[in-house]
């Protein structure tokens, strides 16, 4: 790693880190992930994501180990069947104990189940798990259970993430979220599982959303190995001001998030991305989403 890329990435915020504990094998726990980011890139903050449980509780249990780590670590909750799906009681507890992000269904979304039956292409869980579909709309309209969840997100000023839902479901939930005053919304990896085209992403942006792309897909040492030129085209199409770069890493067989950030960032700079745009996507935009104070 050169000093130049470390300086450019200094202060980055990773909105999508799959550190452990988790039913899926993980490379490190939340503290170790934060320590690595702090030591090598002065990472300002990260969000620990679990598909299966409220990660805030992990962080509270690890608070003695986190106290001397300069990277702030936040948690959240994904509304899959393991937490009861659209469960406002689980959301309420997560957010009022400090959670920052609510992901609508990921593995339990109909879109994910259609694309990856029986979790094909994903890690094998360490324990048997049942995945049940969690629907959020009926005839294109959000179900009644969506309303109290969005009310809680609005009350907390938290981030509403579209999870792995179909673009039409994301649009319906985001439209209602905007009506309720939510001004922090994110669509993760639009071209993986979700299948959202740039035109659909522009509609999400019009609703106030930011589009998140993952280092997992573009790092040549990870599993998918997509050409970074593809990511560069997305950034050009939608604009760096509407884009966030996150890792989506932490899996036991994958690179560390820091290494992936470095390799993909260098590739984007080589393609002609201005340094200021890179900093906007890895530092400024996610800092706004998490309401981090300067």
Amino acid 118: pLDDT: 55
- Kindly report the backbone phi and psi dihedral angles of residue 24, in degrees, each rounded to the nearest multiple of 5, phi listed first: -90, 145
Q: What is the pLDDT of residues 244-291, one digit of tens each?
A: 999 999 999 999 999 999 999 999 999 999 999 999 999 999 999 999
Q: What is the pLDDT of residues 163-177, one digit of tens each?
A: 999 999 999 999 999
Percent of the chain with pLDDT over 70: 97
- Whether 47 and 290 have beta carbons less than 8 Å apart is answered as yes
Both structure tokens of 176: 């209602």
Is the pLDDT at 1 greater than 70? The verdict is no
Is the pLDDT at 119 greater than 70? The verdict is no
Amino acid 128: pLDDT: 81
Region of poorest pLDDT, from 10-24, 114-128, 262-276? 114-128
Fold of the CATH domain 3-289: TIM Barrel (3.20.20)
Amino acid 241: pLDDT: 98
Amino acid 131: pLDDT: 86
- What distance in Å separates the CA atoms of residue 217 and residue 226, rounded to the nearest whole number? 6
Amino acid 129: pLDDT: 84
In the chain, where the domains are located: 3-289
**pTM listed for this prediction:** 0.96
Q: What is the pLDDT of residues 58-108, one digit of tens each?
A: 999 999 999 999 999 999 999 999 999 999 999 999 999 999 999 999 999
- Segment 125-131 mean pLDDT: 84
Instruction: Please provide the average confidence, as pLDDT, over all residues in the chain.
Output: 96
- Segment 139-157 mean pLDDT: 98
Is the pLDDT at 234 greater than 70? The verdict is yes
- Segment 110-117 mean pLDDT: 87
> pLDDT band for position 120 (50/70/90)?
low
Nearest to 258 by CA among 272, 270, 246, 274: 246
CA torsion, ordered 190, 191, 194, 196, to nearest 10 deg: 70
Amino acid 125: pLDDT: 83
Q: What is the pLDDT of residues 174-224, one digit of tens each?
A: 999 999 999 999 999 999 999 999 999 999 999 999 999 999 999 999 989
Amino acid 126: pLDDT: 86
């Amino acid at each position: 790693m050169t000093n130049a890329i470390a300086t450019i990435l200094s202060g980055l915020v990773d909105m999508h880190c799959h550190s452990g504990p988790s039913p899926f094998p993980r490379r490190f726990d939340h503290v170790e992930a934060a320590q690595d980011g702090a030591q090598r890139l002065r990472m300002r903050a990260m969000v620990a994501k679990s598909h299966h449980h409220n990660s805030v509780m992990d962080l509270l249990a690890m608070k003695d180990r986190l106290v001397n780590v300069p990277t702030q670590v936040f948690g959240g909750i994904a509304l899959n069947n393991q937490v009861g799906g659209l469960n406002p009681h689980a959301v309420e507890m997560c957010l009022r104990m400090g959670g920052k992000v609510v992901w609508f269904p990921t593995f339990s979304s109909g879109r994910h189940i259609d694309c990856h039956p029986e979790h094909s292409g994903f890690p094998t869980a360490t324990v048997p798990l049942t995945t049940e579909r969690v629907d959020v709309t009926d005839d294109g309209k959000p179900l009644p259970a969506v309303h109290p969840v969005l009310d809680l997100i609005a009350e907390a000023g938290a981030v509403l993430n579209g999870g792995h839902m179909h673009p039409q479901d994301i649009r319906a939930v985001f439209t209602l979220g905007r009506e309720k005053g939510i001004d922090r919304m994110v669509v993760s990896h639009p071209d993986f599982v979700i299948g959202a085209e740039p035109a659909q992403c522009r509609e999400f942006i019009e609703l106030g959303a930011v589009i998140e792309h993952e280092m997992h897909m573009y790092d040549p040492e990870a599993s998918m190995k997509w050409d970074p030129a593809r990511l560069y085209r997305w950034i050009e199409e939608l604009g760096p001001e509407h884009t966030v770069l996150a890792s989506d890493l932490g899996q036991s067989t994958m690179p560390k998030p820091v290494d992936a950030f470095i390799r993909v960032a260098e590739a984007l700079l080589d393609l002609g991305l201005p340094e200021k745009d890179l900093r906007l996507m890895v530092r400024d935009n996610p800092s706004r989403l998490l309401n981090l104070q300067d």
